[in-house]
Structure 1
Amino acid sequence: MKSDVYIFGLVLLQLIANKEVICDGPDSLEQRAIKEAKRGEKYLVRDCFKEVDHSTAFKITLLAFRCLHIDPPDERPKMEEVLNALTELRDEARGEKRKRDENEAEAESRNLITATA
């Protein structure tokens, strides 16, 4: 159901922003996020993204906005699409972390070799 996708978008936005969703109105989390996104501000990259690069965080934020699409609601993704997108982002983030870990291990081994030489 499209209403389920909307509610999931609110939950995702709440997790991203680390703020509670305030009910309707101009001060709602949804409305503030949309305003800031339209202004091109760096939004929603908070403490919950310590382990995630900014590109992935931004993609998650865009997914939340797609879930919150109001007019027309038919443009919201299906839950299956949301799941696939999140799975893809998770796999992408894991790949980036693996690369960082490999680079750090390589740098440490070079430092160890240099220190013992």
Structure 2
Amino acid sequence: MPRKPKRPCRYPGCPNLTDNKSGWCDAHEKKMQQHYEHFARGYDHRARYGGSWPKVRARYLHAHPLCERCAAAGRYVKATLVHHILPLSEGGTHDEKNLMSLCVSCHEQIHQRAKQDG
């Protein structure tokens, strides 16, 4: 089966072609990820979450594979994110009582509501 044709890199002036989903060629992928971490997020996620977070997140998603909000509404949707109920910036922890597994849609709804309230 033929593959999709490669697209031009999204980096301005870059002549490289790529088939990466991000749209950045291999030469610019890391650079743009660092740019995102610094400017778009506004914080260093490694400093905020700590080195243990990837293991905690993976363990929680393994134990809770379905989105908890969707499951409460009778829908079965695979969870892809782990949400802190009480944000780390407000004193929350990685304790299981403070976590919930969510799909992207439910996670966005929670954060949109928080932005509107705040």
Query: Quick check: which one's strand share is greater?
Result: 2
Q: TM-score, normalised by structure 1?
A: 0.21
If asked which structure has higher relative contact order (CA below 8 Å, sep 6+), I would say 1
Q: TM-score, normalised by structure 2?
A: 0.21
